[in-house]
Structure 1
């Protein structure tokens, strides 16, 4: 069944982008990166902001030119062939699926704190958030742009309020010993922040469902870039300036603490509501995106064929359930092993980094003019930060080996039957 068309306009696109990019990272990463790099973590945020603009514009240009559910897999296939496309698809599919452990769990931390329960209850709360997002995706992709924009606007106003009201509590002492862990601390923080900015590529998988992708994709991208950079920079400055970081438990709820300090009353409940809305919106957006990628990979022979089918309402049901199932499995493993978001986030972050390398290289090859300059700029900046992700190098290697083994096995069992990715 062909994908539904004409369901996403400019407002819905902005809402999806904001939900995908302004996600759980804004809740947990300001504290986490400040602990990693000290006040110099602001440099890492600025670097990622610099990187985010060309990345965003490159993915927007590629999505406009090749509006297919495969997204990054489609671009890599056109640029470098089906094997490169399949591997790129696997990298992002695994990253996006494991991300649905990290995002709901971040919301779970905030809700558990507001309820005054042990942090272990965050896993159950995260499971509820994940289940709601899966259910919403199974219903269909016809989202109300007005409601989505209202939610995104509410989140933006609350974060701006946290930033502004925290200013009187910012002290110069908070910026002494600016870079206690040196350049390596800044670079390592920047690697982790790839996950915070992992969202520009998400909407690309939904480009085929835009009403007018050529008109709305770039406009929505530019709008979201401005919104996200302002909010990320503001809230990270507030966390550093008020010294609201320093240990794993505090890092996880740093934004909630900033809200409480800035507004002058207990803001844990407000922070929990904010975290729930953000986590639910981000999880919903990424399940929609990654399930479409799963559909394309199943269609092209890189994942089991049931994932390459859509239901009567155009939803890739098997893809939605698979992504949700991987996220749920991650929650179970995290609970059993007592792993928090800080223990898991490096895995999807490293895969997103490799995905960006492939995507930007594809952009350099496929695009022309200004958009090609964007792709080249983003590729160079991504290459600069890549060596600092060496600790996770085995993650993309393992994913690539599994993907190639699956493809080889499927090709042998279906010998003589051509697959879409080979035609």
Structure 2
């Protein structure tokens, strides 16, 4: 007899009634915090300096442009999640629009992308902690494992606690980035903006391509839509509020880097935010960047672990992943899914440690998978939505498609993941 703890989750696509389901617990504040944690990733530590090196002060235009592109993406996914509030997120949208096979493949694309992100994001934080403590960079993998386990503990406690933790983390990130912005204010001079665009339009374009991935994460909260207390009221509002918050914070720190001239070399670009922050508080750049990195990487890992465990739950429910991942704990948490994410992230950290891989060796793979997931998600929006929401989806699809050619070198990655998904599903159906 199946125990209560082992009951599978409910969701769109199930036919038999279930005794346990994901519990509505997310309000507007927690939704905004989860969004901010998902979008404000560890890239904020390095991308302001990198973009400024590519485009000079005109990098501020690239930040504003790409930030505004986040609006149609966020609103499209919010509209879809409001109409189809299911843990499957983009997998559910693709299934509704193009059939169950498309949904399963899309789910695998996003699952693999975010699972790899649970190696990259904690490891980014680990590198900064190792630098702050002035220890060997190889110890960064141990710090990354600690970040991964802290996020797991928060998620296993349930979204009510996890959401509160995310509120604290998001508020901490916002406060630290505001300090960076305000610290730069006394240094503003007209000379800081001359020449404004030293590398011309091409420099601004290159910066925009780099910054596109700084604004990834709009799809993450769609997997939690079924756990909103009032999804129709809060999800779109949370999306719009987050776009405004993220745009202001990103523009603020980019402005701080430009006016202080804290950019120009790869070494300086990597610690630009930490240098500005450290100078304002009288501490070392490494210490400042370490504090920022822990808060940001933990917040991002916490938010994406919540999303990915729910996606795994939905894929298992529909036969695209092993059935145990659909089971919920007494707290209404997909605990098997959480531990699966931890296992993938931990195994990846071990492999990276043994093979001397860094984040730069891994990041192109999840980036390509996220991009292709955005394409199928926005295409589903065009097919499923109507009126203004459909027009927004068209804009989001077109703008995402503009970036796609830059990922052509990695096109084999989504093809390989799709082949793996189809092979697993075929074997699972036979058995």
TM-score normalised by L of structure 2: 0.88
SS of the aligned residue for 1:85 comes to: helix
2:4 counterpart residue number = none
Contact 2:154 2:161 in 1 (8 A): no
Displacement after TM superposition at 1:59 (Å): 0.8
1:178 aligned residue (197, 207, 229) = 197
CA-based RMSD of the aligned residues comes to: 2.4
For 2:167 and 2:299, the matched residues in 1 are separated by 11
Q: Give the 3 Å change call, closer, same or farther, for CA 167–306 of structure 1 in structure 2.
A: same
Displacement after TM superposition at 1:345 (Å): 1.7
Q: Give the 3 Å change call, closer, same or farther, for CA 102–37 of structure 1 in structure 2.
A: farther
Displacement after TM superposition at 1:362 (Å): 0.4
1:103 counterpart residue number = 121
Cα deviations by residue, 1:230-286 (Å, 9 ceiling, x for unpaired): 111121232344343455544333211121234444354343222212211110110
- Whether 1:358 aligns to 2:358 is no
Q: Give the 3 Å change call, closer, same or farther, for CA 85–393 of structure 1 in structure 2.
A: same
Q: Give the 3 Å change call, closer, same or farther, for CA 341–166 of structure 1 in structure 2.
A: farther
SS of the aligned residue for 2:88 comes to: coil
1:283 aligned residue (301, 317, 322) = 301
Displacement after TM superposition at 1:69 (Å): 0.3
For 2:316 and 2:250, the matched residues in 1 are separated by 36
1:258 aligned residue (246, 271, 276) = 276
- Unaligned stretches of 5+ residues in structure 2: 1-6, 8-19
For 1:179 and 1:324, the matched residues in 2 are separated by 45
Cα deviations by residue, 1:41-62 (Å, 9 ceiling, x for unpaired): 4444233212100000111111
Listed as ranges, the matches of 1:116-155 within 5 Å are 116-143=134-161, 148-155=166-173
Displacement after TM superposition at 1:313 (Å): 1.9
- Whether 1:389 aligns to 2:414 is no
For 1:339 and 1:182, the matched residues in 2 are separated by 34
Contact 1:194 1:349 in 2 (8 A): no
Contact 1:54 1:377 in 2 (8 A): yes
How many residues were matched structurally? 412
Contact 1:52 1:197 in 2 (8 A): yes
Displacement after TM superposition at 1:11 (Å): 1.2
TM-score normalised by L of structure 1: 0.90
1:239 counterpart residue number = 257
Q: Give the 3 Å change call, closer, same or farther, for CA 202–84 of structure 1 in structure 2.
A: same
SS of the aligned residue for 2:215 comes to: coil
1:27 counterpart residue number = 45
- Unaligned stretches of 5+ residues in structure 1: 415-423
Contact 2:192 2:258 in 1 (8 A): no
Displacement after TM superposition at 1:100 (Å): 0.9
Q: Give the 3 Å change call, closer, same or farther, for CA 83–147 of structure 1 in structure 2.
A: closer
1:417 counterpart residue number = none
Contact 2:126 2:143 in 1 (8 A): yes
For 2:358 and 2:56, the matched residues in 1 are separated by 21
Q: Give the 3 Å change call, closer, same or farther, for CA 276–43 of structure 1 in structure 2.
A: same
